[in-house]
Chain A
């Protein structure tokens, strides 16, 4: 695996994670549960592919379904909690899920070799069933779906719920249905992302799903901007590529990372992409696509 390919893949995975957080944000719910679903997806897909020989797509669909169902079950009580309380409750979910899965220990003999998660040591020898291309196919799918939703009445209903969920109820929108649905979708997306992660890196352990990872999922979105789905994409790209760019800093890389995040948030508290420069971004996009078609 070439260096560039690795960076692209990791970036792609982080984009998926960031977008999974965004799904809940579309209805104004700040959820930190996505890393928990990421872990479920990773361990689930790893188990299905390594121990039971499932191919990738069915494994991903299975974990998406499981995460979606858990997302629905979790989504209902989360309706009653808001703001920082919701963030803490979902953080709790992620911590619990990651810890329970990270300590799992069981092994099954596959073709004479024992395979399976071995507690804190991790889950080794997961079959590599995807590559940078597979990851970006999913990224493209997510981006297309989110872009389309933003232009429809459904997307408008989401924005309304996010703006004022009480008023949205009086518009005839079933707010409960909308919120739980988006929460479950975000869970499913995170589950698929986790599955892709496991079947890309072939080794997962508890450290991949800890508090720091949860913080990162938050940072991609906060730094990028929560106003539009482009924000989390930009945030994930920036915060994945930048540390690589400054490899020469060596040990000080992580410190630099924190400083960058801090500076960006202080200069642009609402993130890099917000309403004011969204139109600028759109114009840029249009001009680039126009020149490509030879206009």
Chain B
């Protein structure tokens, strides 16, 4: 059963990877944490849920539609957050954008607390996210695997591969890496830094949308507070993976998924977050640039 736990942890961890990749992508480009990233995901989850609730949860086509809705919603929310919480600020302090993005996260969360009470298709605490994946399960060599987790894992991998290719091959991706290294030099070389930053937000938030739909579908229900939970997980993943390190975020997400599953299974689900944050503290003491930082350097 150890293997089963680990496997399911890796599979579900891929959603954490997706969440964290968007988070770390933004950090890499503007060197600031977007605390509203979790709230963005929450909004996209509700967007996807709306589609499956309204149009019925039977078919994969509807699920695909929900996925698209989530991604598009993500991009819109991401643009809004960038415009309101980051654009107006000069890059002087790292504190101020942390506070403004926290404020927006609070606003978004409270809006949805209110919304879920008033809109009939939503329930106040947890709204179900129906999907055709709900009852899917596989049994391989006596190991029980939830079907949703496998689909989630596969989709996440595809998205991460697409992102990796985009970052290394496309002009926009290369511009982003240049700005990540040194924004001043990049500007001198003719890169439109402003546009690159906005692009990073849009891409990261599109990924957020994807993860919102995937998490909603695999967990089966969503709540206005899932954003807070996810942002805390994101903090853990990017510390383990290294701030700004995309490969690190990917591997870190899987690791966190495994850790969470192990603690939930062998100790108690209540303490999984506790163990994760102890890990954060230790990593920051011993290897503040993340466990996988050397990996990223070698790839360069």
A residues with a Cβ closer than 8 A to B are 30, 77, 80-81, 83-85, 87-89, 91-93, 95-96, 99-100, 103, 211-212, 215, 218-219, 222-223, 226, 251-252, 254-255, 257-259, 261-262, 265-266, 269-270
The answer to whether A258 and B271 touch (CB under 8 A), given A89-B284, A96-B281, A252-B114, is no
A255, B99: Cβ atoms closer than 8 Å: no
A254 CA / B111 CA spacing, docked (Å): 9
Report how far A30 CA is from B100 CA in the complex, Å. 17
- Separation in Å of the B124 CB from the closest CB of chain A? 12
Given A222-B99, A262-B84, A269-B96, 8 more contacts at CB 8 Å?
Answer: A89-B281, A218-B102, A255-B114, A258-B104, A261-B99, A261-B103, A266-B89, A269-B92
Query: Are B99 and A96 in touch, CB under 8 angstroms?
Result: no
Determine which of A81, A92, A212, A226 lies in contact with B288 in the assembled complex, contact meaning CB atoms within 8 Å: A81
Is the C-beta of B182 less than 8 angstroms from some C-beta in chain A? no
Q: Cβ of A254 and Cβ of B84 under 8 Å apart? A: no
Would you call the interface of chain B mostly helix, strand, loop, or mixed? Answer: helix
- Measured in the bound complex, the distance between the Cα atoms of B106 and A226 in whole Å is 22
What distance in Å separates the Cβ of A183 from its nearest Cβ neighbour in chain B? 15
Distance A84 CA – B23 CA, assembled complex (angstroms): 14
**Chain B contacts of A93 at CB under 8 A?**
277, 281
Most buried by A among B95, B239, B280: B95
A103 to B114, CA, bound (A): 29
**Range of interface residues on B (Cβ < 8 Å):** 35 or more
> Of the candidates B89, B106, B235, which one forms a contact with A257 in the assembled complex, judged by CB atoms under 8 Å apart?
B106
Is the CB of B25 closer than 8 A to any CB of chain A? no
Q: Does B270 contact A (CB under 8 A)?
A: yes
| Residues of A with C-beta under 8 A to B232 | 95, 211
Bound CA–CA A85/B235 (angstroms): 10
B171 at the interface (CB under 8 A from A): no
CA distance A258 to B281 in the complex (A): 29
Q: How far is the CA of A219 from the CA of B288 in the complex (A)?
A: 26
The chain B residue sitting closest to A268, CB to CB, is: B96
**Could you tell me the dominant secondary structure of chain A's interface residues?**
helix
In the complex, how many angstroms separate the beta carbon of B252 from the nearest chain A beta carbon?
Answer: 13
Q: Tell me the bound Cα distance from A243 to B96 in angstroms.
A: 22
Question: Could you pull out 21 A-B pairs where Cβ atoms are within 8 angstroms?
Answer: A81-B285, A81-B288, A84-B94, A85-B243, A95-B232, A96-B281, A100-B274, A103-B270, A103-B271, A218-B98, A222-B99, A254-B110, A258-B110, A261-B103, A262-B84, A262-B85, A262-B103, A262-B104, A262-B107, A265-B96, A265-B100
Tell me, in angstroms, the Cα distance from A262 to B102 when the chains sit together: 9
Q: Which residues of B contact A (CB under 8 A)?
A: 33, 84-85, 88-90, 92-96, 98-100, 102-104, 106-107, 110-111, 113-114, 117, 228, 232, 235, 239, 243, 270-271, 273-274, 277-278, 280-281, 284-285, 288
Interchain CB contact under 8 A, A92 and B281:
yes
Instruction: Determine if A88 and B274 form an interchain contact, defined as CB atoms under 8 angstroms apart.
Output: no
Contact B228 A211 (CB under 8 A): yes
Assembly CA distance A95 to B92 (angstroms): 28
- Complex: A53 Cα to B245 Cα, angstroms: 53
Q: Decide if A99 touches B84 in the complex (CB within 8 Å).
A: no
Provide the residues of chain A in CB contact with B94, threshold 8 Å.
83-84
Q: Which one of A218, A251, A266 has the greatest number of beta carbons of chain B within 10 Å?
A: A266
Q: Establish whether residues A96 and B106, one from each chain, have CB atoms under 8 Å apart when the complex forms.
A: no
